[in-house]
Amino acid sequence: MKQYLSDFSKLIKFRLSFTVVFSASISFLIGQKMQVGRGYIPSIDWGNWLILIAGGFLVTAAANCFNEIIEKDLDKLMSRTKDRPMPAGRMTTGQGLILGVFMAFLGTWLLGKLNLETGLLSVFSILLYAFAYTPLKRKSPIAVFVGAIPGALPPLIGYLAAFGSLKAEQFHEIDYYIAGILFLIQFVWQFPHFWAIAWVLDDDYKKAGFRLLPTKKRDKTSALLTFLSTLVLIPVSLLPTIYGFGGYYIAGLSLIAGVIFSWLAFKLLMNKEMTDAKKVMFCSFFYIPAVQLGLLLNFIAK
């Protein structure tokens, strides 16, 4: 049983799936708080919140499962992935496919119960991640741009899911620009996040032919683009305050986090050392949940 649970966790990339659900649930709570404030609902619908978590987790797990089926033979070549259940021979691709299809249908059905837009976006996310981003990883660095789109959809999905109980005539009152900003923050963040990981794991990635660094190698241009992407993230992260749904506290938090992120990326640009790339990578792990949680707490406190 312990081995089965370990294999299932690796199959669905549990930590990645958890991060995705976290982003979606934060946006859901922000959207629900808006409905409470406008008197559309008396309180946050925790039942729908649980449906979003379950559906979002299953959809993400399915996309990861399809990704591993497609890359099974490539995963055998890399140290970080060769112990996953399919390349290690503990699970067949047929078993993985059955699990993936089941999770995809169940997750999409659950999200579709919230509203049609949420269900359709979940299907789009699976298709783009598994069947566009995955094959592109061996062809061109443009894969990072493509992968950033499904990677940024969770906050958009979560925000739209929060309005599932609205009557049709009230949908015009949804502040779609908030959903767009939440999407944009996570979209931009993924470039320094992906590129820092690609820098750290480039030797392993090359064994499978993955080309994820901007220039396909650890050089000054790749480091420069990573640094520039962190600079772009600073004004983007201030958009909630500029557009009036985030206060000065979240602006301060985003600014401090962004400056630290950029400083670490600048050191990578100057030194091009592995230790600096690892610092950028680990900073990216903490940046997005810290900013999103800060935004939620700021929003609830209003």
The tally of CA atoms less than 13 A away on the side-chain side of residue 248 is: 0
The Cα 19–Cα 45 span in angstroms is 21
The Cα 218–Cα 201 span in angstroms is 10
The confidence score (pLDDT) of residue 109 equals 95
The confidence score (pLDDT) of residue 31 equals 86
pLDDT of 171 > 80? The answer is: no
The backbone region for 13, taken as left when phi is positive above 0, alpha when psi lies in -120 to 50, beta otherwise, is left
**pLDDT tens, residue by residue, 277-295:** 999 999 999 999 999 888 8
Q: Evaluate whether 47 touches 179 at the Cβ level (below 8 Å).
A: no
The confidence score (pLDDT) of residue 34 equals 80
Burial 274-297 (b: 16+ CB within 10 A, else e): eebbbbbbebbeebbeebbebbbe
The backbone region for 283, taken as left when phi is positive above 0, alpha when psi lies in -120 to 50, beta otherwise, is alpha
Q: What is the CA radius of gyration of the chain?
A: 20
**pLDDT tens, residue by residue, 131-144:** 999 899 988 889 99
**pLDDT tens, residue by residue, 95-140:** 999 999 999 999 999 999 988 888 899 999 999 998 999 899 988 8
**Model confidence at 3, in pLDDT bands (50, 70, 90)?**
confident
The confidence score (pLDDT) of residue 125 equals 92
Instruction: State phi, psi for 292 to the nearest 5 degrees.
Output: -65, -40
235 is written with which tokens? 């004004």
pTM summary value = 0.92
Q: Evaluate whether 210 touches 137 at the Cβ level (below 8 Å).
A: yes
The confidence score (pLDDT) of residue 172 equals 55
pLDDT of 296 > 80? The answer is: yes
Number of residues that make up the chain = 302
The confidence score (pLDDT) of residue 302 equals 63
The backbone region for 39, taken as left when phi is positive above 0, alpha when psi lies in -120 to 50, beta otherwise, is left
What share of the chain in percent tops pLDDT 90? Answer: 57
